[in-house]
Structures are given as structure tokens and as C-alpha cells.
Amino acid sequence: MDIVLRAFFAFVFVILVTRVIGRRELSSLEPFDLILLIVLGDLIQQGVTQSDYSFTGLVLAGGTFALLSVGVSYLVFRFRRVRPLFEPEPLILVEDGKLIERNLRRERLTVEEVAAAARLQQIPSLAEVRWAVLETGGKISFIPRSRG
């Protein structure tokens, strides 16, 4: 019984942690972030399975995670109001070439990082950006100003 309950609370904890960590860390996966996520996964596994080495335990814990994952995706799909609990809303970082400082601070993003993300999409300057949006998954999408 307890392994299913532990898996349930671990799942809730993972949702909370991913919401608190923020999109930037989850999408960029710098070496430190990667190690942090691996260590976190190991700690979660220990908390869920504890000393259980059985295949039954694996099926119970893994199955509970799978069921909760399907349940959450259904809730997000079915109920619009629930979405912000599990998925952050897209965030506008640049509008008509002007940085929205409040949103950058909120996601702990620097101007240099946004500019670097723009250059990766062959946009030389943020002044040429109509919209820059931090998407739910942590990637920044750019819509350039129409030329001419």
C-alpha cells in the first residue's frame, strides 16, 4: 500500500519542484542543472522504493507515476482552469523590440541570454524582434519584425 502512496506524493513533489525551479533550468540543462536533475531523480527513487528490490515494486511505483501522468494530462486537456497549476503560461519577454524587464526578472533571465537565444535564430539584434515569448517548455520563440 505504502509504495503507491509514496509514489503519489513523489509525483506531487516533482510537479511542485519543476514549477518552482522554473522553465529556464529545465530547458537549458547546463551541466549543473543536468547533475541536479539526475541527483533529484535518484533521491526521489530512494524515497519511493526505499529497500524494495522487487519487480512488483517497480510495477507499482512506475505504474502509479504513469497513471498520474495520464491523469494530469487529461485534466490539463479537459479543464482550462487547471492548466496553470501544471503548465506555466507562455511569457512575453520582448514586444516591438522592447524588453519587458518584469517578465525577465520573474524567470531570472538576463538581456544577454535573450539576445543569445535570438542570435541562435539568426536575429542579430533584439530591436528586430516583434515578439519574443518564453514558451511553456522553456524555449524562447522569436517573431521578427516584418522587413521593408
Partner 1 sequence: MRAELLARWTVLGLIAALAVAALLGLVGQSPRGTVAVGDAAELEVSAPTRLRGGVFFQARFTVDARAPVERPTLVLDPGWLESMHINTIEPAPTEEASRDGDLALTFSPLEPGDRLVVYMQFQVNPTNVGRRSADVGLYDGETLITSVERTVTVFP
What residue ranges bind partner 1 (CB under 8 A)?
1-5, 50-57, 59-60, 63-64, 66-67, 70
CB of 69 to partner 1, least distance (A): 11
| 123 and 102 Cβ atoms separated by less than 8 Å | no
C-beta of 4 vs 35, nearer to partner 1: 4
- Strands, sheet with 91-95, edge to edge from the N-terminal-most edge strand: 98-99, 91-95, 129-134, 140-144
Least distance to partner 1, CB of residue 56, Å: 4
Least distance in angstroms from the C-beta of 135 to partner 1: 28
Q: Which is nearer to partner 1, 65 or 131 (CB)?
A: 65
The size of the chain, in residues, is: 148
Asked whether the beta carbons of 138 and 109 are under 8 A apart, the reply is: no
Q: Which is nearer to partner 1, 54 or 121 (CB)?
A: 54
Q: Measure Cα distances from 57 to 11, 18, 65, 68 in Å.
A: 16, 25, 12, 16
Nearer to partner 1, 5 or 34 (CB): 5
Task: List residues bridging with 143 in a β-sheet.
Answer: 131
Least Å from the CB of residue 37 to partner 1: 25
Name residue, grid cell 519543476: 18
